Each structure stands twice: as C-alpha cells, then as structure tokens.
Copies of this chain bind each other. A is one copy, B any other.
Amino acid sequence: MSTELLAIHRERLDRALAALQSREAWTGFIESPSTRVHGEDAPRRAREWFEGRLGQPFEIGQPDERMRAGEEVSPYTGKPLGISYPASSPDALFAAARAAQPAWRDAGPEARTGVCLEMLARLGDRAFENTWAVMHTAGQSYAMAYAGSGPNALDRGLEALARGWQAMQQLPAHAEWHKRFGKEEVRLEKRYRLMPLGPAVVFCCASFPTWNAHPAIFANLVTGNPVLVKPHPGCVLPMALTVQTLRTVLATHGHDPNLVQLVVDTFAEPLGKVLVEHPDCAIIDFTGSSRFGSWVEAHAGGRPCYTETSGVNSVVIESCASLPEMARAIAGSVCLFSSQMCTSPQNIWIPRDGIRTGDGHASADDVRAAITGAIDALVADPRRAAGVLGAIQARQTLDLIADRQRAAEAGGRVLRASTPYPHPDFPDAWTATPLVIATDLERHDEFADEVFGPIAFCVEAPDADTALAQATADARRNGAITAFVYSTDDAWLDRAELAWAEAGAALTSNLTGAMPLNFAAAYSDLHVSGLNPAGNATLADWAFVAGRFRIAQARRPLPG
C-alpha cells in the first residue's frame, strides 16, 4: 500500500522530471476550462459549491477549532463572503504538526511522493471550485482563476515535488562499504535516513495564492515536513479548499491529516510574527509584501527561508520591429489581472529621442501614444476587459490608484487615466483600467520601487543604455522578478541579457503576439532568482528543495 499511489501516478512524475531537464512545454493537468472537456455539469456544480459556502462555517476538522475567523470580501460583489474558518491557536497546530511528523518521515520518500501526487490529482479535480474561490477572494478573471490558479499552479506544485524527489535520490537508503585497513578487511553496512527539519509555515499572498503556495507545500511535504498554511486574511477560501483536500487525501490513505493545517488570522490581530517566532517553526516560505518579508528574513535566523516579496519590473525599449505589435504586447501585460501579478511590468523606459521601428523612426510621444492606445483598445469591450483585467483584490489598491492619479494630474503627467470598466456579470465589481503616468529620471523616487496595481510609468531616459543601467540598478536595489526589452540590435540584446542576468530578473526579449509577456511556464521558466531583493524562492531549482531536509547516517559492521 505504501508505494501504490506512487505506482499509480508514476508516469506523471516521470514526465515532470523529463520536462524539468528538457525545459520543454508540458503540463500534467488540463489547462482548458472547456465544458467539452469537463462536461456541462462541472462549472455549475462548482458554482453551487461556492454559493453553498457563503455565510457558513468552513469545516476542516483540524485541532482547536473553537474560535472562528473570516473577513473576506468578494472583489466581484463588494460583499463579505461570510465564511468562517477555524482560527486554531498556533500552539495547538504546531503541537499537532510535530506529533504527525515521525510517522510521515518514516513512511519514506516513495510513500510521501505517492501521497503528494495523489493530492495534486485531487486538487486538479477541484479546479472549478478553486476557480470560484479564487475569483471571489483574489479577484482574478474566470479564465485566469481556472488556469493560472488551477492547472498552472498545480504544475508548479508538481515541479517542486519532482525537484524534491530528485533531491531525495541523491544517495541510497542503504549501502555496503568494504575497505582494507592493514591486514583487516573492514565491512560496514551504512544507512542514510532523510530527516525532515520540522513544521514549515507557508505564507500565501492575497492576489495569487495557489501559484506560490503549491510549490512550497509540496516541497515541504515530500521531504517530510508538516505544513501550516497561513493565507492572507483577505484571501482564505482557496487555501482552505486546498487544505481540506489535502487532509482528506492524507486521512484516506492512512496518514495523519494534521500534516497540513490552516492558520487563519484577522486584519486586526495578525499571527505572522507569532508563527515565525514560534520555537517549532523550522522552515519559512513567504510570499507577500516586502515590508513584512524583510522582517521575516531578518528573523529567520539559521532556518531555511524561501521568499518572494516584491519588485519593480521594467520594459526597456531600444528599438522594435513593429511598434503596434510591441505596444499591444506591453498593453496586454499591463492589463493582465490589472497588473496585480508579481511579474507585471511597471516601468516602461523610452529613449527621449524615440526609437527605430520596422516602419521608420518613432518619437517618444509616438511610443507612449501607441501603448496607451493599445490599452484603450484592449479595455474598450467590457467582456474582453473582464477576461483580461479581472477585478481589483483590495480597496487599498483603488485608493492608491486615485492618489497617484491626483498627483500626476497636478503635473499634467497623466498619459492615460484609470477609470472603472463595467463588468458584464458583476455590476458592483471593483474594477480599474490602467493608469499610465509620464515621468523621467528626475522623478526617480516616484517609480524606483514597486507601486502595486494597474499603474504604469512611461519613463523617458536620455537613451536606451541609460535606461538599461538605471532599470537594472533599480532591480538590484529594490528587487525585480521579470524584465522585458525590445531591440532589433542583436549586440544590444546580448548586452541587455547579461545586464538583466546580473540584476537577477528573468528577461523576455522582443516578445509580441498571443502569449502574455509575463506568462511563466512551470518546468521551463524559472521564477524568482535569489539575485536581488525580490526573493530567493526559485521555482523550482535544487536550492528550493535541498535545504528542507538533512541526512542522518548510521553504520555498523556487516554480519559474518
């Protein structure tokens, strides 16, 4: 029984391992939400599931469920979800996690991997329920909530799981060793035990919870560590659904469900510091603000601490083959989920004297106009806007847009004003089209760090090299996850590639067309480099998994 699940899912694991090495496009899950694939009933049943949760206690069955908490508000309706979650005390959860750990450790890598693969499959079954959960907490569009927060996030989880599997194969469980010392042949049996570090706390962000949480959860679980999932208080439901699913799989297959537990707190009384400072917290996975992230990093001590905080992502334009195509690509990426992604571009660097294009010279004004025009075109049709922009997760983001817009208006620097767009299905949705502000190096403070939400800066620079130097300097100082450049000059592209590698942002050059600029594919695109302050939780390399367990050795003479 212990390796039955691994046998069932073995092909999926092997395909993931192969894709990790080849870096080719592959998915272990179904990326399309089409009812032709899933049947007519699946979306309807998921909607019913979601509506049945509203105003109800969400049952997980974990220890110490007396207290309840729940403060989520749907960005699509503006109304509280009214779901109450168990608000178990950290002490109770850590104690239960520690109690669950030895048997999970002793189950061994094969059994753990099999259970984790089963968990991913069962999460895949709930992709439509997850869609509703993500929409009405994170504010993602239906399509993104299905694919980006479902199969794509599961692929990132599977990727991390496969990396953990690789790491656990680095040596055998047993070995024999023979060596001559003088006249004596010494013969030893050696045993290598993979030892988990202990409970891991996984902090999840409000706008894209599953995509970073799944890799952390599975990297921890497969290497033997219990997990406390700590969602943002404004976005609990997707993680509650995840925890519930994982606990069911554990219980079904004879494992302690307390290997995965949910920690729910409130805006008024956050538990983040309590969790990090708890003596039983052995590993920290953090996705969230750079402010709290810095505190977490400073208090991690010698514990493994994998972070994704924030960064300032840039587009540097040196020249391009087609101004309209480039503008559409940039506009699409600025609009995608209203720039609430850690990969969304914020600063668009434009040379003062304009650029070469395939259709001749374009002035800086031409470039700015092309980009704002492309945004206008994209958001003009509400149904298309709804599919791309989704909703705004937090009211504070709407306030920030208003503040920045007022400030820029005072200087006559608003290139494109942000306005709500009418959502075709949810008239009360919190929506906002991108604000685009004209700025330059003299106003560097305005855009040098992350400004969260649909706010883009067209930064005029003396020339493309100056732009590249300043944009990469900003990334080194304040973090960056992605970067984008456009140039028809191969030598310049090569220089830019090295500059962005040294700044630690994943670079996309000259991309136009159907793929969103900031789409990151599991098994192929690395996410977060560890080379700048945006974090070190690289999805997924060896560094993401190798430190989550240690190896204890024992040896004794072989019999006979």
A residues contacting B by CB (< 8 A) are 20-25, 166-167, 170-172, 175-179, 181-184, 186, 188, 190-193, 195, 297, 300, 302, 305, 493, 497, 500-502, 504, 506-511, 513-515, 521, 524-526, 529-531, 536, 538, 541-543, 546-547, 550-557
Contact = CB atoms under 8 A, between A and B. Distances in A.
A172 B21 contact: yes
5 contacts: A192-B526, A195-B529, A507-B552, A511-B557, A542-B546
A394 B529 CA distance: 45
A302 to B, nearest CB: 6
Chain A interface, >50% SS class: mixed
Contacts of A297: 302
Contact of A554 (B177, B501, B515): B501
Contact of A541 (B20, B510, B541, B551): B551
Given A23-B190, A191-B497, A542-B546, A521 B179 contact: yes
A317 to B, nearest CB: 15
Contacts of A184: 513-515
User: Which 8 residue pairs of A and B lie closest in terms of their CB atoms, listed nearest first?
Assistant: A23-B175, A501-B552, A181-B514, A184-B514, A509-B556, A542-B546, A25-B179, A546-B546
Contact of A193 (B181, B501, B543, B547): B501
Contacts of A530: 550
Contacts of A547: 543, 546-547
Nearest to A298: B301
Contact of A542 (B24, B167, B493): B167
A167 B163 CA distance: 12
A172 B23 contact: yes
Given A181-B513, A190-B525, A506-B554, 10 more contacts: A20-B171, A23-B171, A184-B515, A191-B497, A193-B501, A493-B556, A510-B557, A525-B555, A531-B552, A538-B550
Contacts of A192: 23, 526
Contacts of A305: 302
Contacts of A179: 25, 515, 521
A529 B552 contact: yes
A552 B167 contact: no
A306 to B, nearest CB: 11
A104 to B, nearest CB: 14
Contact of A556 (B182, B504, B510, B538): B510
Among A23, A178, A506, A550: residue with most chain B CB under 10 A: A550
Given A190-B524, A526-B192, A543-B547, A172 B555 contact: no
Contacts of A24: 175-178
